[in-house]
Amino acid sequence: MDNGRAMKVLLCAPRGFCAGVDRAIQIVEIALERFGAPVYVRHEIVHNRYVVQSLEDKGAVFVEELEEIEADDRPVIFSAHGVPKEVEADAAARNLFFLDATCPLVSKVHREAEIHHKRGRHILLIGHAGHPEVVGTMGQLPEGTVELIETVRDVARLDVPDPANLAWISQTTLSVDDTKAIVSALNERFPAIVGPHKDDICYATTNRQEAVKAVAADCDAMIIVGAPNSSNSQRLREVALSAGCPRAQLIQRASEIDVESYDGVATLGITAGASAPEELVEEVLDRFAARFSLTLESARTADETIVFPLPRLLRDTAKPEKAVAG
């Protein structure tokens, strides 16, 4: 071990779990406590393999589709990303007992989409094709009534049925800056377009990106703890690079880091996506501490106090120490 090399570590805050992720994990854990194993979960409850594995160890069984569930008498939980209405209808038709762990901020976007549809507006959804949240949001309404756009270039190619009856909504985990550019292009091309009363990008996504922006230019490199299929984690890496950090690496576990390659790094920034638990950040710090003499500094840009209630059925089962924290 050689920890004589000095390294300053800027720990971004807020980082890691958001209230929606914390709530979703609690729903699975409390369902297991109350109903016993197995409890089925459609899709990864959140995009983090470490979290999924820990819940599997407790008795959760993850499936991609309801058809994979063999025992119709066991609870089924829908992931934090939300599901199309046809999935809920299928579950109801099979008399499955299901719990919805959809993040309330994603549910807010679903409600916005329904309101726009009732008012006769064609809906443009800013998001990433194939992401579970996008699939779930588009699945709230009849096919063809919601159109996906991913880039500013897509705006120029749009052929909408009625420019006077348009609305836009967005995935909650996008890059704040990229989304602003797309919205600006939409407003320029379609002046009558209606947007959300409050930005659809969630508070946690925004806060974590702002924390990265605040330190990126001061860092020689940044580590983002998160999963490759996590949209908000991928956006943190992109934001770090665009905000002036010359090197940013997205990792799931500390074992993926080649610590020797960081020998020339004087200041390292570390953050974590909204689905990554703090123990994985501590794991990263331990790995660097084995080679470097670390000086830790917290770089906090916001305080988070948002709380999301659990589903009514599970509230009396929750333990006080498991209160959802933002």
The catalytic residues are 133
Cα torsion through 110, 112, 114, 115, rounded to 10: 160
Give the distance between the most distant pair of CA atoms in the chain. 67
φ, ψ of residue 134 to 5 degrees: the values are -65, -45
Closest residue by Cα to residue 247 from 279, 270, 281, 229: 270
For the chain, strand residue ranges (E) read: 5-13, 39-42, 60-63, 76-78, 98-100, 122-126, 146-149, 166-170, 221-225, 248-251, 267-272, 292-300
Please report which helix (H) or strand (E) contains residue 34, including its range: helix 19-35
Provide the β-strand partners of residue 9: 268, 296
Mode of pairing for the β-strands spanning 5-13 and 221-225:
unpaired
Cα–Cα distance measured from residue 152 to residue 129, given in angstroms and rounded to the nearest whole number: 15
The b-or-e profile of 247-258 (16+ CB within 10 A means b, else e) is: ebbbbbebeebe
CB 45 within 8 A of CB 24: yes
DSSP track, 42-95 = ES-SSS-HHHHHHHHHHTEEEESSGGG---TTS-EEE-TT---HHHHHHHHHTT
Mode of pairing for the β-strands spanning 221-225 and 60-63:
unpaired
